[in-house]
Chains A and B, each alone.
Chain A
Amino acid sequence: MDHLQQLRHRVRQYVFGLVLAENVLLIVSWWAADTFTGLPPLLVAGATLIAGGVLCFGIARIVESYVTEPLQALWQAVLHLSPTDHGIAAPKIEQLRLGQELVTNLTAQIYQMADVAEHAATEKLERSNDLSRNFVAQNLPLPLFTLDAAETITFANEAAAQYVGIAATDLIGKNVYMVLDMLFPSEETFDGWLKEVKAKSATAVHSWERVRLNVRDGHPTRIFDLAGYYNRDNPQHTETMLVLFDHTKMYTQDDQAVSFIALSVHELRTPLTLLRGYIEVFEDEVDTTTNPELKGFMLKMKSQAEQLTAFVNNILNVARVDDDQMQLKLQEEQWPDVLRSAIENLSLRAKVRGVTLHCRLASDLPSVGIDRISIYEVVNNLVDNAIKYSGNSKVIEIETHLTKDGLIETTIQDFGLGISTATVPNLFTKFYRDHRNRAQVGGTGLGLYLSKAIVAAHGGSIWVRSKEGEGSTFGFTLVPYAQLTEEAKQNGDQQITRSAHGWIKNHSMYRR
């Protein structure tokens, strides 16, 4: 109030001074006119009155301009802060001739009040945002975590707390890796991703499948899909968000189906390893020159062990095909070389059955795009079948040539039992076997089913031509490598990867 007092005092001083000066001026003027001019007193009085009026008007204007200036400045300050844009600038208080302190004080008060009002409005908005955010986050039935820049948990919803079995309030402030002990199926891990995006990007989204979580000792492992979202510009302490989608039940069922087969395979392979190992020791160290029959037995044992190994692989691969887990990586290979090496592995089996493998391999074939090991399986199965179904015939013809469509075709022909026309269409079906031959020939009916899936994944086709009593010819085609790379290039694929089930992992590669 001091400033107001000061202003009143100043105004009083100004008015008093001006009026006093005016009165003195009038009295002096009157006296001078009356003494020195000799004009009639009435005229002098009239002139003095007029001069007094003019002076009063001048004083009134001076006082008005001095006194209203501060008011104008205050009015300008109010308009300046008004939400409606009046195009009014902030008042220039330092130029005021009167009441500078008072106006400074009052405008400061006005600005402060405006700030308070604005803050209240923002707070209201934030409160409403917080409320809706918290409601969504809390009631989301999926575990949700937010992390700050140091990967410390800043928020965990109720579902998250329940999932990891720790109260939400206890989760906050903990490092996420201490709480979520995650195992990823590949090297592409959450922390690796986060490190990379923080270095390179402002924002990124990523998801992972089949992530395992070790919750606490004695609790079962949970398996889930994980979605991660990073945004550097998110409000502080919420840069990273994590959402978990629990699929423990689904994934465990899958794993159990596969793990049963995997376990069986493991149990079969251990004795097989030993059998093959000990047979090799026998071969090395038992002198069979004195007993040729013993040598024959040894070869038969060896061939049977090899066949059992191939069969175990068949079981495993059929399981993989059925689960869409068989991934083939196609690489450039010279087909005659691959075929020769595959046939070499089969020569012992042919030999112990007294069958000769005749090969006519064209030398001018273009290179093929194949997954060597899985194509070995195809050759293995087809030649094995031919050996098994050769009957009394002792020759198998293996031949390769280029078809008129530019594909590499391989045929395996036996001159044995043959297949009846009625059963041909079912041959490539799982577990199918020609019942009339069951008594004579062993087998599971998995080999052709598997071969078809593998050839199809290579982009080729498999076929059979047979006549009962005269033998069968099985053939399959492969695609030249150049053609595959051309397709891969068109699809923008870096690597030619295929899934053995007829459909393609890298979308659109498979056209045949």
Chain B
Amino acid sequence: MTDQPTASATPTTTPAAGRNVLCIEDEHFIGELYDRALTKGGYKVTVIGDGVEALAAAQTNQYDIILLDLMVPNLTGIEILRTLRDPARVPALKSKIVITTNLEQREDVRADIEKQADGYLVKAEITPHELVDFLNHMQ
């Protein structure tokens, strides 16, 4: 019972200021919606639906924020998260990692994932605008 309250906090003036977002999402329509809302919100967005490709892109360390779906083909989100958080494989990752998933986890598994990420959002509980709001609020 630690679902994020819908990220509909008070609107903010924090500018996206062209921050780079890598959206790892294999559901084409969701990727499209997030791309649209984030681009409108001032972010530069790259959507990748394949796990292996997404990890390669994330390892370039050029993204400020990584939105990570846990169920992507060829490599799971958990594997991507572990790799990115392993300093031996990705030294000094500057990206914030926000899990965006509709998958339901056991409490302890989820707590473990949350510890390694900078945010955890259930996609069905937020609208694209609320996602933008959430990212705007992230330090």
Contact = CB atoms under 8 A, between A and B. Distances in A.
A309 B122 CA distance: 11
Contacts of A269: 102, 122-124
Given A186-B108, A258-B106, A262-B103, A371 B1 contact: yes
A242 to B, nearest CB: 22
A313 interface: yes
Interface of B: 1-3, 5-6, 27, 29-30, 33, 36-37, 71, 102-109, 111-112, 115, 122-125, 127-129
B104 A316 contact: yes
Interface string A287-329: 0000000000000000000000100110011001000011111
Contacts of A373: 1-3, 5
Given A185-B106, A186-B108, A266-B104, A374 B125 contact: no
Contacts of B2: 329, 373
Contacts of A273: 30, 102, 123-124
A280 B129 contact: yes
Contacts of B123: 269-270, 273
A187 B107 contact: no
B30 A326 contact: no
A186 B111 contact: yes
Interface of A: 185-187, 258, 261-262, 265-266, 268-270, 272-274, 276-281, 309, 312-313, 316-317, 320, 325-329, 341, 345, 371-374, 376, 500
A186 B102 CA distance: 21
A280 B128 contact: yes
A269 B125 CA distance: 9
A329 B2 CA distance: 8
A83 B65 CA distance: 79
A interface SS class: helix
Given A274-B29, A371-B1, A374-B1, 18 more contacts: A186-B111, A258-B106, A261-B104, A262-B103, A266-B102, A269-B123, A273-B102, A273-B123, A274-B33, A277-B127, A281-B128, A313-B3, A317-B1, A325-B107, A327-B1, A329-B1, A345-B6, A376-B5
B127 A276 contact: yes
15 contacts: A262-B105, A269-B102, A270-B102, A273-B124, A274-B33, A278-B33, A280-B128, A280-B129, A281-B33, A281-B36, A313-B125, A316-B104, A326-B1, A328-B1, A376-B5
B4 to A, nearest CB: 8
Q: Which 5 pairs from chain A and chain B are nearest by CB?
A: A269-B102, A269-B124, A277-B33, A262-B104, A273-B123
B121 to A, nearest CB: 10
A256 B41 CA distance: 41
Contacts of B104: 261-262, 265-266, 316
Contacts of B103: 262, 266
Contacts of A376: 5
B18 to A, nearest CB: 21
Contacts of A262: 103-105
Contacts of A328: 1
A269 B100 CA distance: 12
Contacts of A317: 1
Contacts of B3: 313, 373
Nearest to A500: B1
Nearest to A209: B108
A281 B3 CA distance: 24
Contacts of A320: 1
A69 B29 CA distance: 108
Given A274-B30, A277-B33, A281-B33, A327 B128 contact: no
Given A373-B2, A373-B5, A270 B127 contact: no
Contacts of A261: 104
B1 A280 contact: no
A270 B27 CA distance: 8
B130 to A, nearest CB: 9
Most buried by A among B36, B71, B102: B102
A279 B129 CA distance: 11
Contacts of B124: 268-270, 272-273, 276, 309, 312
Contacts of B71: 266
A56 B85 CA distance: 103
B109 A185 contact: yes
A270 B33 CA distance: 13
Contacts of B128: 277, 280-281
B65 to A, nearest CB: 19
A316 B105 CA distance: 11
A327 B107 contact: yes
Contacts of B125: 309, 313
A265 B128 CA distance: 20
A345 B129 CA distance: 15
A325 B1 CA distance: 10
Contacts of A187: 112, 115
A187 B115 CA distance: 10
Contact of B30 (A266, A277, A281): A277
B107 A280 contact: no
A312 B122 CA distance: 12
Contacts of A258: 106
Contacts of B115: 187
A186 B33 contact: no
Contacts of A341: 5
A320 B27 CA distance: 27
